[in-house]
């Protein structure tokens, strides 16, 4: 343990900033970061220009998006700008995807914002089934099993996502019906609009 954030910085060659964006001024204002250090910012939605103003340093600043799967060394970490030391840090943890600029970084950032909606989708399916009298543990087990299968099928990178969908769907069958009646154009447009609005805020 260190006595202060300044103490952490002084003892580090690579400084990782993982406070919540709204805490950054309290955590970082007044810190001295020598130009020879490397700063990795994990803060969602904070541009490097903004961070450079707060830290007032000429040290390289690299943004990165490690996600919870990094625990199992399976998170592809987007970085910007690419830096050999930072990319080497994340490479063994599931791979690294350096992107050219923060405009591209923000698109990937917006994609990460959809993760919990995916869990919420599964929770909604489970709750719908319990509403129809299924035991919660049965509904939970069944929905988890269904989507673990989906997760495994995603490992097959030889097939594009639309082909994977087609492979799971009988023409005019049950999946086709829900995909076209629920995930219809209006629903797809609403998702794109929410992502566009987030992207506009990230710029």
How many Å apart are CA 86 and CA 81, to the nearest integer?
10
CB atoms within 10 A of CB 198: 16
Quick note: the x/- pattern for ligand NDP over 13-52, rule CB under 6 A, is -----xxxx-x--xx--------------xxx--------
Binds ligand A1CAB (CB under 6 A): choice among 82, 112, 148, 187: 112
133: left (phi over 0), alpha (psi -120 to 50) or beta: left
For the bound state, the minimum distance from the C-beta of residue 83 to ligand A1CAB, rounded and expressed in Å, comes to 20
**Given the rule CB under 6 A, which of 29-37, 65-73, 96-104, 142-150 is the region that contacts ligand NDP?**
65-73
| Sign (positive or negative) of CA dihedral 48, 49, 55, 61 | positive
- For residues 64 and 90, the answer to whether their CB atoms sit within 8 Å is yes
Residue 199 binding: pick among ligand NDP, ligand A1CAB, none (C-beta 5-8 Å cut-off by kind) = none
Rule CB under 6 A: is residue 95 a binding residue for ligand A1CAB?
no
Binds ligand A1CAB (CB under 6 A): choice among 31, 38, 61, 65: 65
Which residue spans within 66-163 are E strands per DSSP? 77-80, 96-98
Kindly list the distances between the CA atom of residue 107 and the CA atoms of 7, 63, 75, 103, in Å, as whole numbers in the listed order.
Answer: 35, 13, 17, 7
List of residues contacting ligand NDP (CB under 6 A) = 5, 18-21, 23, 26-27, 42-44, 65-68
Residues that bind ligand A1CAB (CB under 6 A): 44, 65, 112-113
């Amino acid at each position: 343990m260190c006595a202060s954030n300044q103490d952490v910085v002084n003892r580090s060659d690579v400084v990782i900033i993982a406070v919540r964006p709204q805490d950054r001024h309290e955590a970082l204002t007044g810190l001295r970061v020598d130009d020879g250090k490397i700063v990795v910012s994990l803060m969602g939605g904070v541009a490097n220009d903004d961070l450079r103003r707060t830290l007032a340093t000429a040290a390289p600043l690299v943004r990165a998006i490690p996600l919870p799967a990094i625990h199992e060394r399976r998170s592809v970490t987007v970085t910007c700008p690419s830096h050999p030391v930072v990319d080497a840090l994340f490479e063994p943890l599931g791979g690294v995807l350096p992107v050219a600029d923060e405009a591209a970084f923000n698109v990937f950032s917006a994609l990460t914002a959809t993760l919990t909606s995916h869990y919420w989708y599964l929770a909604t399916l489970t709750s719908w089934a319990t509403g129809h009298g299924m035991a919660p543990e049965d509904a939970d087990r069944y929905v988890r099993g269904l989507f673990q299968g989906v997760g495994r099928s995603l490992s097959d990178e030889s097939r594009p996502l639309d082909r994977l969908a087609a492979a799971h769907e009988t023409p005019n069958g049950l999946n086709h019906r829900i995909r076209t009646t629920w995930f219809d154009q209006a629903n797809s447009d609403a998702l794109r609009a929410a992502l566009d609005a987030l992207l506009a805020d990230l710029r």
